[in-house]
Amino acid sequence: MGIIENMRLDGKKGFVTGAARGIGKCTATAFAEAGADVAIVDLDIETAKKTAAEIAEKTGRKVIAVQCDCTNEEQVNQMVATVVKELGGLNFCHNNAGICINAPAEEMTYAQWLKVININLNGIFLTDIAAGKYMLANGGGSIINTASMSAHIVNVPQPQCAYNASKAGVIQLTKSLAIEWAKRGVRVNCISPGYIGTDLTLSSPSLIPLIEKWNAMAPMGRLGKPEELESICVYLAGDTSSFTTGTDVVVDGAFTCF
């Protein structure tokens, strides 16, 4: 088979968290376009259902919506069980759900800190472990986590210490699981996007001044597009990346190069 055929995900089953919109919606669409059946996992079940229907109509694949709070262990375990039952297995997942709270460190409440860490890091841990347990017992698979360039740099001018710390934790969690599971058929990688112009980001008036500053600092002079993360995620989900594990792929338009 040629390289294009090897990039296909025909017959594979997977889920994407935080997939109702934004980056997660784009990667879920890409997985389905590559031939996979996909679960749209999100706390916002109504938007998730609309997204699932849209992707199914566009691609002809089986696409379902599953509601899940990724910080709730019982819900995460039930979500994985539902995906396996409804799709017929689990070969890959993209754990993408996350939030950011911008607040000066001395003003950030402990509750705000915990909320960010809980969703961005603990939620990734729970989904990684639930998916990993199934994959370890059923022939292996590929796990993709969303970290951030914020794990590598301290963003300015916005204060976001909790977000930065959580994403650095995602990278180390990814590498740790990759080592533990390397000989057992489960690969674990992460992507570190730079500033990405999602519909939500671009429509938020409070972010316009920040976007102008980010673009002024960016080597390419612009935000990334969610679609510019699709091909790397399809690669990591499939068999072509069989020797790729423990890797953090930075997709930031060279923002972290200086």
Catalytic annotation, residues: 148, 163, 167
Residue 53 in tokens: 């229907």
Backbone angles phi, psi at 191, to 5 degrees: -115, 145
3-state helix, strand, coil in the chain (%, to 5): 55, 15, 30
Per-residue DSSP letter, 225: -
| Cα separations in angstroms, 148 against 163, 167, 193, 202 | 9, 6, 5, 18
Which of 69, 73, 29 lies closest to 45 in space, CA to CA? 69
What letter would DSSP give residue 206? G
What the block records as the tokens of 215 is 């673009």
Which region holds residue 198: left if phi is over 0, alpha if psi is between -120 and 50, else beta? beta
Instruction: Round to whole Å and give the CA distance between 76 and 108.
Output: 28
CA distance 123 to 14: 17
The contacts of residue 205 (CB under 8 Å, 6+ apart) are: none
Which residues, in sequence order, are CB contacts of 118 under 8 Å at separation 6+? 71
